[in-house]
Structure 1
Amino acid sequence: MTDQTTEQKVADAERAALQLAQCSEAERNRALEAIADAIEAHSEEILAANAEDVEEAERMLEQGEYTQALVDRLTLSESKLASIAEMVRSVAAQDDPLGETLEARRLDDGLELYKRAVPIGVIGTVFESRPDALVQIAALSLKSGNSVILKGGSEASESNRVLYDIIVEATSDLPEGWAQLIEAREDVDTLLGMDESVDLLMPRGSSEFVRYIQDNTKIPVLGHTEGVCHVYVDDDADLEMAAEVAHDAKVQYPAACNAAETLLIHESVAEEFVPEIVDRYEETGVEMRGDTRVREIADMDAASDEDWSTEYGDLIISLKIVDSLVDAVDHVNTYGSKHTDSIITEDADAASVFMQGIDSASVFHNASTRFSDGYRFGLGAEVGISTGKIHARGPVGLAGLTTYQYFLEGDGQIVASYSGENAREYIHEDFDGEWTPGRLAGPTIEQ
């Protein structure tokens, strides 16, 4: 860590971004492997720093300031560090997102247009509680050739500092300043005003937090908000499968944004299914809140209107009986957060109606919502899950951290040749080809 101002850190990141974009895939992959090795080699140091954060978080939990879900997200372990290192290596193993020719079009003989994937530039990220998010975001930014400004929550400050220092030391061969760490709240406000230097902001937190970022900056924002995710058990569901999926979606890791918060059940299977899933949830300590019809079948607290739009992030779930598939779709679109929702059914037509009718980034059929994840999607990792519709949607991996440029290779052509008498005509013919500089160098064609 240095005593640089936020403005100086952003300026350094901006310079580094131009150089990092020119680094080869091999250079970027070697740096990622070095990060993974360094995390493993410094595991004791990382865990010691994390223990300080967790101790303070548990004190805040006792005072009612923090939730158990936050403490769970904050806590690292040997196995968690091993998973983090594996994640970094999986990012290195992904195909290079840069330099790919997305489209090639021949405008005329000797005039070829190439649309190529390039880095976005300088990415600013603000995230909470999970120190592994710092490594994920840094790894994906590096692989995609972007500089990154990292701002974690104060609850993970010790963990974040150690991880950041390890990453910087492991990547000393890369352009200096490609990764920066800011810590104070006023640093975030400074960052929000640097729209001429920062190309994209990616906040991870509550809707209120993301909205604050959006309302206080001119920088494009790729928002990652809460996950109010649903599982809907249809009237033609395999109920044994439904119980397994509904249990996994809530219990496997309840603090995750892709954990289910509401279970919808078709009225025709409710009498059979509700007692079964209630038993499963009770065995694993899940607190349930049900609507009137659910509570006629099983004893539990009443769900309020607020419950339907709440991300618990804990072992709590709301249950509701619906009359039809249409009612289920309407409930999800009304109360959901456009994150991830799943239907359990053996009816392909019902699955089609649900999946095409739900306005969420990810919609599943006969699968747990917990699969909504960059690593599980084969993206290597993710910087977050975007619930918006512009630029990137769902788990944002490498492709979501790139943009494109148009490269035009000509041989002296001028626009005047394509107008007036004896005007040349455009071909506008797509072809398979990769851009290489100067590929059309040679005699000028007749104009």
Structure 2
Amino acid sequence: MEPETLALLMFGTLLITLFLGHPLAFSLGILATVFGLIGTGGEIDLLFAMFASKTYGVMEEYVLVAVPLFIFMAQMLDASGIAEKLFKTMHIILGPIRGGLALAVILVCTIFAASAGVVGATEVAVGLLAVPALLRRGYDIPLTAGSICAGGTLGIIIPPSIMLVVYGSLAQVSVGHLFTSAMFPGLLLAGLYMTYITIRCAIKPEMGPPLPKEERIYSLTDKLKMILVSLVPPLALIVMVMGSIIAAVATPTEAAGIGCLGAFLLAIIYRKLTWGAVKDAAIATLKTNSMVMTLFLGGNAFQSIFMYLGGSDAISNILLGLEVHSYVILFIMMGCVFFLGMFIDWLGILLIVVPIFTPIALELEFHPVWFATLICVNLQMAFLTPPFGYSLFYLKGIAPSEMSIVHIYRGVVPFIALQWVGLIICILWPEFVLWLPKAIFGAEAIGG
């Protein structure tokens, strides 16, 4: 059998194992071993030498140190109660308008996302507060579910984001450039969500009724105090992390360390710093980071064999051999990422597609930072697309009995469409993605 054919068979077998529900990390590692033995003619020494080289490469990747740091920062922010204070403030300020509480969810998720960088902590923290509050006031159940799920996914695209850190490591693209390029797309998505909620509740007021007048008891002075207490500290943390990267004072890894310190200080300020909170945050970080690194090792083993067999070249030849416009090939790649997102988590998709699609993007002369940002915006949809969107199950795990999985599926559909709108905007107007990194780092520094 030709090596290229064997590589394509290897990729097809991977998809079958994933659809059967086998764990991704072990599927990648086992398939790499089996097809590696076939492809090398049973040369075990060569196979293990390739695996060892890839594993050592992962251990040497300095930027990956930021991953456990950002995860720990998110866990400490969750423990500090920052989401609770933010939601209470936005609840009071936006509650009097139609759909105001759903808008408050998106705003809180946006601020929390810019502080934390992960999805699970954002969605669970906000969901536990928002679901009872919105349902108690008669908000439409699918709208409530969709707002919380979509808002929670902002944590994976708005920097600091561990997805951007991982992508930078895999594609050898500056994480600082990715952080700045993802800022406007992340805010665009938040704006699209809020616009949709506003229009929907204006057309059908019963979907998001305003707070009754008897609950509007806070004066302007009270509101300003609440903003000062709940909004200024997380904004200061955002400035500490992102500002240190943009000002070239710290690398993303060092900025993650600064973020951990800031999260500790917030926990102290809000009087939530306890030994139990630190212990729980450390254990959660250990579990999540172990999962990430296990996937990394399995993914790198798979990549090494797939490349050795010429799989990347085979797929490149197929796509580049199409006599169509380069943007048609781009949409084919985006469609593949979207399809995989229905069944695989974002990390698995990155490990599979980045080594394959990045050379194709370079051959088509796509800007590497722009293309990376498109992939990451697309991967946000992986959290929402049924049947295996992680955000759907995060919410279902904390939702009351009256919110069924059907309500959640119905609720996320409009937000998936909005994410496609945001992705298409980023594709049609590349400067929307590239303007900020060019303005901060210079066009020459980012390669265009």
User: What range is the shorter-chain TM-score in?
Assistant: under 0.3
Which has the higher relative contact order, 1 or 2, with Cα contacts under 8 A spaced 6 or more apart? 2
Larger Cα Rg: Structure 1 or Structure 2? 1
TM-score where L is the length of structure 1: 0.23
TM-score where L is the length of structure 2: 0.23
Choose between structure 1 and 2: higher strand proportion. Answer: 1
